[in-house]
Chain A
Amino acid sequence: MNRLDELLLLWQDQTLTPEQRAELKQLLAEPAARARVAEDFFLTGVVLESLRTQRAARAFLTHADERNDPERAVRLRRSGGPRWYRPALAVAFLLALLGALLWFQRRLALPPVVPVSADVYAQFEQVHGDTFVVNQQQKSPAQAGQVLVAGQGIATEGSDSEAVLRMQDAVRLKLGGDTTVRTEDDEPGAGGPRVVLEQGELLVEVNRSVKRKQMTVQTPLGVAVTQTEETALHISDAARVAVVRGEVQFHHRETGRSIRLRGGQYLAVTADGELYAAELFAANGRVWVTYPKVGLETTSLGYRVTFAPTGQRLAAVSRSTEGGLRIGPAEGGDSLRELPGERCLAFAPDGQVLATGQQSQVLLHDLAGGEPRILASPDRRSRVLCLAFAPDGRSLAVGKGRSKEPGEVAMWDLTTDTLRTVFRGHAAEVTALAFSPDGKYLASGGHDRTVVLWDVAAGQERSRLLTVPSQVVWSLAFAPDGRTLAIATGPEDFRLRQPGQVHLWEMATEKVRARLHGHTQAVTGLAFSADGQTLITGSADTTVRFWDLNSNREYGMLKGHRAAPGFEALTVALAPDGSYLATASLDRTVKVWKTTRVENEARSRVTVTALLERTRPLW
């Protein structure tokens, strides 16, 4: 170690004497020493950033739960203590286990399927809701402190149920709702237990090596094997396999392919089965508004959100009339206004008028003040389900419909507030609308699993697309250059665990040029970045995903909304300058996230930065 390095270390340690300080200054008179110092500070910055990223990734899984429902938050603390009493603890623990085992056997009068000498492999630390020990075909309620022996499984029933177990002293399992887990011995020679997740959501936390052996978790998709001593991985339908810390090797069951994932990464799979790693964005969003609790059915978008064209204002609307419409600064605060409205909303291109639905009518709120203008349709039976302003601001397209009846798109002339024409051609409700940027075309989609492209000037249908696989169209968005129409689809009932998709439809060829696979449930929201290189999607699988449209692959995921009981719809909006992302979810919250565009030579990407994660009330 040279003298400069030594002094820099002492400085880092805050133990520089005045003499050493003077010596350091003297050394820094030399350009070479200053170059070395610059390098040293840069290195420190990268190390800090790396540590901070890992810390954020560690918090990733628990943040959402904790923020939304602190009482239910389950903290997984690392076990351990001073070394001298560990043997004593181990003996006490084993005795306690033995005692508990005997006690439970007597108290619950369990049939002697499992001999007392069978291997104890886990103990319940916490149990919430309906959690059961599964013993072959028998189920018995689980309690905190209860031990499990080989051959027994665990099942949580109901979306609010969860359980935390300690396996040996170094592995913890946290089971989410509706989850079934069992263990089995690994192959001879490999050693160690193999945890088998049959369905649901599981967090596995390994705090040090289990007798220096790897931990194997079998999932419906394949097998994950921990590679590092301190490892945490999260397996769920939504994110498949996400590594919170440490490293994991994942082997895909069907394709036989494998991939190594690091902390902060999750497994992504292309349509043809190629595995790749994408990034978990571990940022926090600010809750912009929380809607009051009302019953919402599971076959409609609960809440929608949109930015004003200037990006300064944000507006959100609830599916229910009781929720109403809220508008206010994107950065939040107490100055949100409440206006009447429901289901849908759209800002006029000049940002001065906000259109929303109210049963069969459209309300046009002038944001300067005054009573709203009303566009009253002669057809009072159909509800207003979606809205889109023409880019010139002179026309408003209104998607309407009623269950099990044909849907329609009404075109209103806003210079006279009269109904100009009605486009008919949908066999069911129209749920999504988008104007091409030049205003020539209007795309409409709906429950009839069809997208229709209308020539606005001619008042005619130009082309039509039936979604394959046949799914409801939940959202539509044109790329800023107008060449591509993104179509978000998914099953009609959000509770169905069928993957949703995004179809990228090329206007020139009128063909789907790509399908974006990744979401595990319906895709319900779409937003293009201004440069057209990134597409952001929200889904009923509770995630927001970021897609690179050069490669048509997902590169990032955000998971900051709580899973509603078994379903969730997420709509997304990106501020015109790309600086904020807003998400609205069936968990009744609208959140705002800080985003950043990261550019290099090859591409430009929107990322959600954790830069504002821990600081002042900007939001």
Chain B
Amino acid sequence: MTDRITRLSSRFMVERHALLGFIYGMIHNLAAAEDLLQEVWLRLAQAAVRGEPITDPAKWCRGVARNLILHYWREQRTGKVLADSELLDLVAQALDENPDPWADRRQALQECIDQLPEASRRLLELKYEQGLSFAVMAQQLRRSIDSLKMALSRLRRALLECAERRLRLAESNP
């Protein structure tokens, strides 16, 4: 039992990024997303203790997260969050269909993020950590909304490409 819990927690730790991205993408509130991630983790641990069969932990966690997101949407009712269960299911499906070599890619991406210049890091902080809209960011940074969108889009693309390059480099120089 202990081994099983340990195995599941290890898997969870490795795959939590995609899950956090999924939850955050749906509720756009980092603190709340971390709470929901925590809840998923607890439920996974409880299910493991109960001995429930979990063949695909990532998928299982996404299923739990989906229900928690729906619950969160119902509780919020502020209209500020875009609640669309159809989109939620489509993204869950997308993640189910595209399992990833998580550990390697995460490591590569992490290294690329660590090397970002300060301005790019600041952009990510404002957008994701502080959850500012492009309009507010534009005011703060004295830039146009379009240029910020373009900058963020390029930054994300550059990070993915950087990670790919690193992985290729690692493969060719094992």
Listed in ascending order, the chain A residues whose CB lies under 8 Å from chain B are 1, 5-6, 9, 11-16, 21, 24-25, 28, 31, 34-35, 37-52, 55, 228-230, 262, 311, 576-579, 596-600, 609, 611-612, 614-616, 618
Contact = CB atoms under 8 A, between A and B. Distances in A.
B171 interface: no
A230 B117 CA distance: 11
A45 B20 contact: yes
Contacts of A1: 149-150, 153
A35 B21 contact: no
Given A24-B87, A46-B106, A49-B20, A609 B82 contact: no
B170 interface: no
A598 B127 CA distance: 30
Contacts of A37: 90-91, 94
Interface string B75-107: 000001110101100110111011010110110
B20 A34 contact: no
Given A25-B86, A25-B87, A615-B38, 17 more contacts: A6-B153, A12-B28, A16-B82, A34-B93, A34-B94, A42-B105, A44-B25, A46-B106, A48-B30, A52-B34, A230-B118, A596-B10, A599-B10, A611-B13, A611-B41, A614-B31, A614-B35
B109 to A, nearest CB: 5
Nearest to B33: A48
Nearest to A28: B90
A12 B114 CA distance: 23
B128 A51 contact: yes
Given A24-B87, A28-B90, A598-B10, A42 B80 contact: no
B24 A48 contact: yes
B159 interface: yes
Nearest to A208: B118
A611 B110 contact: no
A31 B42 CA distance: 32
10 contacts: A11-B82, A38-B94, A46-B106, A48-B128, A51-B128, A52-B30, A597-B10, A599-B10, A616-B38, A618-B42
B167 interface: no
B42 A28 contact: no
Residue of A6, A51, A598 ringed by the most chain B CB atoms within 10 A: A51
Contact of B97 (A5, A35, A578, A597): A35
Interface of B: 2, 5-6, 9-10, 13-14, 16-22, 24-25, 28, 30-31, 33-35, 37-39, 41-42, 80-82, 84, 86-87, 90-91, 93-95, 97-98, 100, 102-103, 105-106, 109-110, 113-114, 118, 124-125, 127-129, 133-134, 149-150, 152-153, 156-157, 159-160
Nearest to B13: A596
Contacts of A576: 2
A14 B94 contact: no
B32 to A, nearest CB: 11
A55 B129 contact: yes
A609 B13 CA distance: 9
B156 A15 contact: no
A532 B41 CA distance: 26
Nearest to B97: A34
Nearest to A228: B118
A14 B109 CA distance: 25
A615 B35 contact: yes
Contact of B21 (A28, A45, A51): A45
Nearest to A49: B17
A42 B13 contact: no
Nearest to A578: B6
List the 9 shortest-distance A-B pairs measured between CB atoms, nearest first.
A45-B21, A45-B17, A34-B94, A38-B98, A44-B21, A41-B21, A577-B2, A45-B20, A615-B38
A229 B16 CA distance: 31
Nearest to B81: A14
Contacts of B80: 14
B118 A45 contact: no
Contacts of A42: 17-18, 21, 95, 100, 102, 105
A11 B133 CA distance: 11
Contacts of B33: 48
Contact of A614 (B10, B34, B94, B118): B34
B87 to A, nearest CB: 6
A42 B14 CA distance: 12
